[in-house]
Structure 1
């Protein structure tokens, strides 16, 4: 092989590597754009999907504030119109971390999330409460409280019952 041939191969390799890196960058930017935008934390109830009536929202806000004052665990209820094509588990995890729910060092927050148009819901639990509010508890709350109420259009009732049950599970685990 001559020096000219080597230089030609080297030039092609550099061009191909640049094209691959550019393609990866475009792909990563595209994937980031696919991730749904996270709402702003405006209170203990963030009803961006507008599915909770005003009286229930007020009652939930007070109940959650009282619960947080009695202990230190924090529960936030959030509704969004859509996840924008993202799965609920990573979205809920991103939102939980973005909002920094629970106390620093205790990781004792709970996010109750509903995506109205996607017809999906999730209870995201901080590591500090995973022993108290297990996946099994969360599944039962969703299946027994939220899903039946949501099927008949009672979003406020389903969310209220779910919050009551989350609080009960956490209080029972703390010996309250």
Structure 2
């Protein structure tokens, strides 16, 4: 803000203003009593029709804080009421969605396991026929032991190939 006091400019006097609505430099210089540049005048932010009283009691309006707090509380209460109405709508929409899902589940019951397996085999055959199946990749082993371990029997966890029953403990 500038230190220039332009409150004495008359909005009805055309010689005090430019065509853009800014104060005329000649009028400002006559009021202030010294030479002033355009930037200093613009820094005051004074425009025609928008008088700004500086440091006056009229510029500072008394604020009724209780009234402002009351308005804010009313606005909050309105927003809460709006939010609760939206929550009711969401709850109703979720209930309708749940009912629709339950109705769909009754109509489209899951297949029994044997039919589901047949459907899986049919789809697998379709994929194989269309060539949509990846070719298996031959494993690459880092050592002979890895190769032996990969081919080990799964009957027991014994890697030697022994299938004898394992002792479970001393007490049976």
Under a length normalisation based on structure 2, what TM-score does the superposition of the two structures give?
Answer: 0.27
Give the helix-richer structure, 1 or 2. Answer: 1
Under a length normalisation based on structure 1, what TM-score does the superposition of the two structures give?
Answer: 0.26
Answer with 1 or 2: which has the greater Rg.
2
Tell which has more relative contact order, 1 or 2 (C-alpha 8 A, sep 6+).
1
